[in-house]
Homo-oligomer: A and B are copies of this chain.
Amino acid sequence: MVKTIEISADIKEMAGITKAMGHPVRLYILQKLNRMNACCYSGDLVDELPVGRSTLSQHLKELKYAGLIQGEVEPPYIKYCLNQENWEKAKEMFHKLFNENQEI
């Protein structure tokens, strides 16, 4: 007797986003971009974070893959900003998660 259980796509999606947020360097970047309401460059970040350039690049790639940030080429730099639409979506997801027991 085999279990035929699946976890909903919604949960899986949120888990993916949450996972992408679950690293100090990546969380720092997201917090900074949101706080400043601005964008930044990899070069800025590498000076304030305890990781090397290539490692930082990997983290940016992951955040991009998760849809939380986007990079705009601005030679010779790449300007990284929050992906506002998805960031709002994430915000909403967390809001729901923490508040869906508040029903009347």
Contacts and interface: CB of A to CB of B under 8 A. Distances in A.
Interface of A: 3, 5-7, 11-12, 14-16, 18-28, 30-31, 34-37, 47-50, 87, 90-91, 94-95, 97-98, 100-101
Given A15-B27, A18-B27, A91-B98, 16 more contacts: A5-B48, A5-B50, A11-B24, A12-B24, A15-B22, A15-B23, A16-B22, A18-B21, A18-B22, A19-B23, A20-B22, A34-B100, A35-B100, A36-B101, A37-B101, A94-B94
B101 A35 contact: yes
Contact of A34 (B5, B15, B87, B97): B97
Per DSSP, are chain A's interface residues mostly helix, strand or loop, or mixed? helix
